[in-house]
A and B are shown apart, each in its own frame.
Chain A
Amino acid sequence: MNWLINDNNKCESIFDIPVLSINDLRQEIIQMKKRVVGFFGKQENDNVHLFVVLADDSEGKLYVSSAIFPPEIKEYESLTQELPSFHMFEREFYEEFNIKPLNHPWLKSVRNHKNKYEFFEMKGDEIHQVAVGPIHAGVIEPGHFRFMCCGEKIYELEIQLGWQSKGVEQLFLTSHSNRLAESVCGDSVVAYNIAYSNLVESLSGCEITNKAQLIRLIALEMERCAIHIGDLGAIAGDIAYLMGASIFGATRTLVINTMLEISGSRFARGLIETGGVNYDIDLALSDKIVSVLDKVSNDVERTVKTMLKSPTVASRLEKTGIVSKETAIEMGFTGMTARASGVNLDTRFDYPDKWYKDIENRSTKADGDVYSRTRLRYKEIKQSIYIIKKFLKELEKYSTEPLRVHCPNKMKPDSFVVSMTEGWRGEVVHIAITDTNGKFSRYKIKDASFNNWYALALAVRNNGISDFPLCNKSFNLSYCGNDL
C-alpha cells in the first residue's frame, strides 16, 4: 500500500504512513486524481519529510502518504504542471524548505516577500497599471492588488499577500490553546476552534458529550449565518443598494447578539474549550434563539427577494466575475467558492458526523458569477437556520449531560491527525503530528482562502475594474487565514 486511508479527526500512528521516494509519490499523486488538502514538509534532523493528504470527497476518506528529502536533494519535478491545484502548496513548500519544484509555472513567494519580485506586466500605449493596497481605505486587512488594465477592462490581476504573516503554526508548537486557535482568523472563530479542539481531543482520546457537540455545531451554524448576512449587506453596499446594506447590517446584529447571549462574546470567543464547551444553552435561551432566528429568517427572505428582483441589482450581479465549474475543479477551489460554481463540496456532508448524517443537502444550480455567490449565501443562511433549530430540539434530550469532560493533558505520541471543519468560507483544515513525548512537532493550518484567492484573480479577468470590489466582496476571502 502506498497510501494510508484515514478518516476525518481520526488519530493514526505516524509509522503507518507510507514513505515513498519523491518520484514514486509524484506518480501516485498524479494517478490518484484526488483533491489535495495537505502538502507540507516537516524538518526531521537534516531531512525534510514531505506529507501529502488527499481527499476523496465522494467516499469521505482521506489518503495520506509521504516522502523524505535527504539534504543533498534540493529539487524535484513539480506537480503543478500536471495538477494546477497544487500551485499554492508547492510555492509554500518551496518557500519554507527551499526545495525547488522544477518547471513550476509561477514560483512566487506566498508570504515572504524579501526577495525582489517582478510583477507580471503588459506593455503597450493603451495599457495602464493600477496598484491598490496593501494599505486600504476602510478597516480591512492588508493585501496588495496589481491590475493590468486596458481602459476600464482588467486583463490580469496579481494578488500579493502575506503582509501580516506572524508564524501562527510555530506558535502552536510552543504554546497551543483554544484561545490561540480562535484568534487565527477573526471571522471564523468557531470553525477554527472546533477544528483545533477536535484534533486535540482525538489525540488525547477524549470523548466529549453529545450536548457539547451540539452546542459547538449550533455556534458553527450561527457563525455561518451571521457572516453570510453581513456579506449580503456588504455586497448590497458595494453596488450602492442602500436598503439592502442597512437591513442586512441590522439583521446580522441580531444574530451576533444572540451569540453574545450564549457565550458572552458576539463572535463566540471563549465558548469552545477542549473537552466540551464553557456555556450552556438552557430551554429559555433556546426558545429565545428560535424566535430571533424566525425574525432573521423572515427579514433575510424578504430583503433578498426584493433585492434580487430589482433590475438594477440583477444587472450588476449577473454574469459578473464568473468562475466556471471546470476551473473550480481544476484549480481545487473549496467551500462556498466551489459550491457557487456548481462543485458540490461540503465537509459537513462529505465527512458527516452523527449529527449531519440525517440532514439532506440539496445542491443548487450555480453559474459561478456574483449572482450565484449571493444566492448561495441566502440558501446557506436558510439551511443554517434550519439546522440550528433541529439541533436545538436535539439538545433538549441531553439537558442532563455535563458541558465539559476532563481531557487528559497528554496527547498520543508519534501520531498524525487531520481535522477538517466546514467554516462559512469553506474547509478549515488543521493537521498535527506529535513527537515521541506527545507534543506537537508540526502543526499545519489550511484555510479555504489559501486555495481560493486565485479564484478572485481568475474571476475578475475581462471584467470592468469598477466591478473588482464587488467580486472581492462576493468571495470575502481571508487575509489572515492565508498569511498565518
Chain B
Amino acid sequence: MKTVIINLIIILIMPFIMLGFIKKTKAFWAGRKGVSLLQPFYDFMRLLKKGIVVSNTTSFIANIAPVIVLSSVIFAGLFVPLAGGLSVINIEYGFIIFAYLLGLSKFFALLCAMDTGSSFEGMGASREACFTSLIEPAFFIITASACGACGIYSFNSFNTFISNINMVSLCVIILAVLAFFIMLVVECSRIPVDDPATHLELTMIHEVMILDNSGFDLAVLTWASGIKMVLISSLILLFIIPSSMPYYISLILYLLLYCLIGIVVGTVESGIARIRMSHILEFVFAMTALALVILALITIRIYGG
C-alpha cells in the first residue's frame, strides 16, 4: 500500500518539479533569475480553470485523445520500479506492456494532432512518429539484453548491474544511462531534438502537435509529457541506485536525482543548439548503436567465459 501511494505521488507530482528545475537551470545559464520552481504547477492549475476551444474540423477523437494519452502514461508508470526497486504492478514482461502503453499514448497524441486538420500539426505528427518509433527497437534491445543477462524478466533486471559491479556491468551502466538519456530527450521533446520554448511552428515537433489544444486538454497533455519524463528518468535511476539500500534512503536519493536529471537536461539545453531536422535521425540512431554495444557486452560476458 505504501509503495502504491508513494509511487503514485512521485509519478503525478514529480513532473512539475522536474520541469521547474529545467526552467530554473536554463534561467541560471542565461543569467536570469527565472520563474519559481513551482511555476509549471501554477501553469497547470491555470490551464485547468480555462475553457476549451475546439476547431470545427475535429471529430470525437480530439475530445477523448488527451485523456487517453494521460491515462495510458499513468498506467505505464505503474510498471516502473521506483524507490526501493518496487513497482505498483510487478509482473514478468511488464516492460512490454510499459512500452506499448507509451505507444498507445503516442498513437492517440498523433491522431489528435491529425484530427485538427491543420497543415502544421500533420507535419509535427509525421516528425514525432518518425523519430520516436525508432526508439522502440533500441529500448527492447537494452531491456531484453539486461533481462537475459540476469534472468529476471522485468525492469528490476536493470538494478542487478549496480549490485555486483565489475568492468562489464560498469560499461553497461554507463552506456545504458546514455541511451536512456537520449530516449528522454527524444520522447520528451527537449533540445537538441526539439525546442519546447520556440514560437516558430515550422520548426516544432511536439509543441506543434498540441498547438490547437487549450485549457483542460492542454493541461492534460503537458502533464502526460512530464510524467513520461519522470518514467524514463526512473529507468535511468534503476541503473544507478541499488535496491539493497534502506527504503527511505533510496526514496530520498530518487527524489534528489530526479532534480539532478532536470538540472542536467537544462544544462544540455543551455549549452548546445538544436540539431538540423534532417540530422535528428542520426541522433536517434545513436541510442540504437549504444543498445547494440550493450547487447554485445552482455553476450560476451555470458558466452565468452
Contact = CB atoms under 8 A, between A and B. Distances in A.
B198 interface: yes
Contact of A312 (B26, B29, B203, B274): B274
Contact of A240 (B119, B122, B274, B278): B274
Interface stretch (A164-172, A185-193, A242-250): A242-250
Contacts of A247: 31
Interface in A112-139: 128-132, 137-138
B272 A469 contact: no
Residue in B198, B202, B269 whose Cβ sees the most chain A Cβ within 10 Å: B202
A469 B203 contact: yes
Interface in B276-293: 276-279
A246 B30 CA distance: 6
Q: By DSSP majority rule, is chain A's interface helix, strand, loop, or mixed?
A: helix
A466 B277 contact: yes
A243 B195 contact: no
B276 A465 contact: no
Interface of A: 128-132, 137-138, 152, 236, 238-243, 245-247, 250, 310, 312-313, 315-316, 320, 464-470
Given A130-B202, A246-B31, A240 B277 contact: no
Contacts of A464: 276-278
A245 B32 CA distance: 12
A466 B278 CA distance: 9
A239 B273 contact: yes
Contact of B200 (A243, A313, A320, A469): A469
A243 B28 CA distance: 10
15 contacts: A128-B119, A128-B123, A129-B119, A130-B202, A137-B201, A152-B278, A240-B198, A242-B29, A246-B32, A312-B272, A312-B275, A315-B276, A464-B276, A467-B277, A470-B203
A246 B273 CA distance: 13
Nearest to B194: A240
B271 interface: yes
Contacts of B191: 240
Contacts of B195: 240
Contacts, number: 83
Contacts of A129: 119
A243 B29 contact: yes
Given A152-B277, A246-B32, A312 B192 contact: yes
A241 B195 CA distance: 10
Contacts of A246: 30-32
Contact of A242 (B26, B127, B275): B26
Contacts of B270: 242-243
A239 B26 CA distance: 15
B197 interface: yes
Contact of B273 (A128, A130, A138, A313): A313
B296 to A, nearest CB: 28
The 10 closest A-B pairs by CB, nearest first: A246-B30, A241-B273, A240-B195, A466-B277, A469-B200, A312-B273, A240-B274, A239-B273, A312-B272, A466-B203
A310 B192 CA distance: 13
